[in-house]
């Protein structure tokens, strides 16, 4: 099954999986913190899915906002959810479609994209495409999976092998594994491989630490959860500059 077909199939379940603690207390706060001050910026959200990350970009004050995704059904959902005007959504494949059709941007965001690349060539194609839509000095905020197995927190990652390019099946479940939200396929690439590709595409970059929100009396995040996430984060964030 292609990535497009997988995401067409799991569209509702993926959106619901955002209520899981790893998303709610780690992925989303980390994305928002790494966005920084985006007031007035033109932002393209690639791999926007049903628009969760795109709506966050809007909430934090971006000016012109475009979301693109390879899944036509996720884009339909994103359009349905957009009750206010201000976000334009399009179906586009970041590997093969020319994104400059949508103009130039101050920032490109991707909350979970690069690990869908099946080959190093596909990583390069995605990065070149993103580089080409950024204004000089523009920022690409890249969040990608570490394919981490967190059985105790409802994330199961099963890799076909330890080789680069190996297929990894990710299952997103409730913490007690009584409910499975969805599963999808990603691919394993070493961090060094990604970083070499960033340089090759022409980016300067830095890694940004993840954030674990909540804790104390405020939120149901205990010390063990915090320690597990900080020790072995399930995703990486890079801020890349053109």
Contact footprint for ligand SAM (CB under 6 A): 3, 7, 47-49, 52-53, 69-71, 74, 93-95, 111-113, 116
Q: Report the distance separating Cα 11 and Cα 89, nearest Å.
A: 16
Residues 219, 29 contacting (CB under 8 angstroms): no
Q: Which of 237, 28, 211, 232 is nearest to 149 (CA)?
A: 232
CA end-to-end span of the chain: 34
Among residues 36 and 215, whose Cβ is nearest to ligand SAM?
Answer: 36
Among residues 32 and 215, whose Cβ is nearest to ligand SAM?
Answer: 32
Nearest approach, Cβ of residue 111 and ligand SAM (Å): 4
Nearest approach, Cβ of residue 224 and ligand SAM (Å): 26
Nearest approach, Cβ of residue 109 and ligand SAM (Å): 8
Among residues 116 and 188, whose Cβ is nearest to ligand SAM?
Answer: 116
Whose CB is nearest to ligand SAM? 49
Nearest approach, Cβ of residue 93 and ligand SAM (Å): 4
Among residues 47 and 228, whose Cβ is nearest to ligand SAM?
Answer: 47
Residues 148, 155 contacting (CB under 8 angstroms): yes
Would you tell me the crossing angle of helices 120-133 and 191-201 to the nearest 10 degrees? 40
* C-alpha distances in Å from residue 173, one per residue of 19, 112, 154, 204: 11, 18, 5, 36
CA 29 to centroid of chain Cα atoms: 13
Nearest approach, Cβ of residue 95 and ligand SAM (Å): 5
Among residues 41 and 170, whose Cβ is nearest to ligand SAM?
Answer: 170
């Amino acid at each position: 099954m292609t990535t497009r077909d997988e995401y067409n199939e799991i569209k509702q379940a993926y959106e619901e999986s955002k209520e899981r603690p790893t998303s709610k207390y780690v992925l989303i706060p980390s994305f928002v913190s790494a966005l920084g001050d985006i007031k007035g910026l033109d932002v393209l959200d690639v791999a926007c899915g049903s628009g969760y990350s795109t709506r966050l970009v809007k909430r934090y004050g971006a000016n012109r906002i475009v979301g693109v995704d390879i899944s036509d059904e996720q884009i339909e959902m994103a359009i349905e959810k957009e009750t206010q005007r201000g976000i334009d959504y399009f179906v586009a494949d970041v590997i093969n479609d020319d994104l400059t059709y949508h103009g130039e941007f101050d920032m490109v965001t991707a909350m979970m994209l690069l690990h869908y690349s099946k080959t190093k060539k596909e990583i390069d194609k995605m990065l070149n495409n993103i580089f080409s839509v950024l204004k000089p000095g523009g920022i690409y905020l890249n969040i990608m999976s570490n394919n981490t197995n967190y059985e105790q927190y409802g994330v199961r990652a099963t890799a076909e092998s330890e080789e680069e390019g190996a297929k990894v099946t990710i299952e997103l479940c409730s913490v007690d594994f009584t409910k499975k939200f969805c599963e999808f396929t990603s691919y394993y690439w070493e961090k060094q491989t990604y970083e070499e590709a960033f340089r090759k595409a022409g980016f300067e970059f830095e890694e940004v630490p993840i954030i674990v929100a909540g804790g104390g009396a405020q939120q149901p995040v205990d010390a063990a959860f915090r320690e597990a996430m900080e020790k072995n984060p399930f995703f990486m964030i890079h801020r890349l500059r053109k």
